[in-house]
Structure 1
Amino acid sequence: MLTMTDTAAEAVKTIVSNNSGGDDGGVRIRDTGQQNGFELSVAPAPEPEDTVVDSAGARVFLDQTATTALDDRVLDAELGQDGSVRFALGLQG
Structure 2
Amino acid sequence: MLTVTEAAAEAITALTGQENGQDGGGLRFAIHSRQTDNPQLAVSVAPEPESGDQVLGADGGPKVFLEAEAAELLDDKVLDVQQDETGEVAFAILPQAEPQAGS
TM-score, normalised with respect to structure 2: 0.79
Structure 1 residues not aligned, in runs of 5+: none
Q: What is the CA–CA distance in structure 1 between the aligned matches of 2:39 and 2:51, rounded to whole Å?
A: 25
Structure 1 SS opposite 2:33: coil
Name the counterpart of 2:26. Answer: 26
Q: Is residue 34 of structure 2 the alignment partner of residue 65 of structure 1?
A: no
8 Å CA contact retained: 1:21, 1:44: no
The Cα of 1:85 is off from its aligned counterpart by 2.5
Q: Is residue 52 of structure 2 the alignment partner of residue 49 of structure 1?
A: yes
The number of aligned residues is: 93
**Higher-Rg member (1/2):** 2
TM-score, normalised with respect to structure 1: 0.86
Structure 2 SS opposite 1:18: helix
Structure 2 residues not aligned, in runs of 5+: 98-103
Aligned residues: CA RMSD:
2.2
Greater length-normalized contact order (CA 8 Å, ≥ 6 residues apart): 1
8 Å CA contact retained: 2:31, 2:39: no
Name the counterpart of 2:100. Answer: none
Say which structure is richer in strand. 1
Structure 1 SS opposite 2:71: helix
Q: Is residue 40 of structure 2 the alignment partner of residue 37 of structure 1?
A: yes
The Cα of 1:23 is off from its aligned counterpart by 1.6
- Which amino acid letter does the alignment assign opposite residue 10 of structure 2? E
